[in-house]
A and B are shown apart, each in its own frame.
Chain A
Amino acid sequence: QVQLVQSGAEVKKPGSSVKVSCKASGGTFSNYAMSWVRQAPGQGPEWMGVIIPDFGTANYAQKFRGRVTITADESTSTTYMELSSLRSEDTAIYYCAREKAPYSTSFFDSWGQGTLVTVSS
């Protein structure tokens, strides 16, 4: 089973940007879609977007379009999520989550451990 290891917690000022990484090991990287999902305190998960590294282009939820960028580096099996113009409502745990089947975008059988992003002045 693939293992997903994310970068550490971040504290950011409002208006700044954050970039979270997710390194995959133990499985194929390029042909499995990787989504980013965030979860605010006490809330359900919220899907932000997805990338299939083989294809290179990302698909974003309308809510985050213009503020989020998801990229993948096949040479290091790492996916990145950058969120800009941060506001307090962006305080959440951010997860990377991998699809169960190759070249599909659906449900997630592997998750990173989560990265807490705190936005505070």
Chain B
Amino acid sequence: DIVMTQSPDSLAVSLGERATINCKSSQSVLHSSSNKNYLGWYQQKPGQPPQLLIYWASTRESGVPDRFSGSGSGTDFTLTINSLQAEDVAVYYCQQYYTTPFTFGPGTKVDL
């Protein structure tokens, strides 16, 4: 199984500042034939299911504010939240879909 790790476990950010979350996979999730990274990011607020933010490592889901951006390739990825808003307080998970079983990271909690 591909193991996903995230850092930090949690971080506190001031309103309007930037939050950076890292995700690492135990093997590359870059598919050579498509040149796509099979990596997604989700946001989860208390009492709610995860919500898709980013897929193919850097494609923003429809309706997601452009302060959210994804980058990286191969085994190392980053989710950046620019100008943090109060509604961004949540837990963020990365997920690989390169191969089954699809696996998620342990999560990074973002607080004010």
Chain A residues within CB distance 8 Å of chain B: 35, 43-47, 50, 59, 61-63, 95, 97, 100, 105-109, 111-114
Mark contacts of B68-112 with chain A using CB atoms, 8 A cut-off: 1 yes-contact digit, 0 otherwise: 000000000000000000000000010101001111111100000
Chain B residue numbers with a CB within 8 Å of A47 are: 100-104
Most chain B beta-carbon neighbours within 10 Å: one of A45, A46, A62, A111? A45
Verify B40–A107 contact, CB threshold 8 A: yes
Given contact pairs A35-B102, A59-B100, A45 touches B50 in the complex (Cβ within 8 A): yes
Chain B residue numbers with a CB within 8 Å of A97 are: 49
Cβ contacts A to B, 12 pairs, < 8 Å: A44-B104, A44-B105, A45-B95, A45-B104, A47-B100, A47-B103, A50-B100, A59-B100, A62-B101, A97-B49, A111-B49, A114-B49
Contacts A62-B1, A105-B100, A107-B95 supplied; 4 other A-B pairs, CB < 8 Å: A45-B93, A46-B104, A95-B50, A107-B97
Closest to B107 in A: A44
- Tell me the smallest distance from the CB of B35 to a CB of chain A, in Å: 16
Complex CA gap A113/B59 in Å reads: 25
Chain A residue numbers with a CB within 8 Å of B42 are: 45
Complex CA gap A114/B46 in Å reads: 12
- Tell me the smallest distance from the CB of B56 to a CB of chain A, in Å: 9
Verify A43–B106 contact, CB threshold 8 A: yes
Chain A residue numbers with a CB within 8 Å of B106 are: 43-44
Contact of A109 among B1, B61, B103, B105 (CB under 8 A): B61
Mark contacts of B1-23 with chain A using CB atoms, 8 A cut-off: 1 yes-contact digit, 0 otherwise: 10000000000000000000000
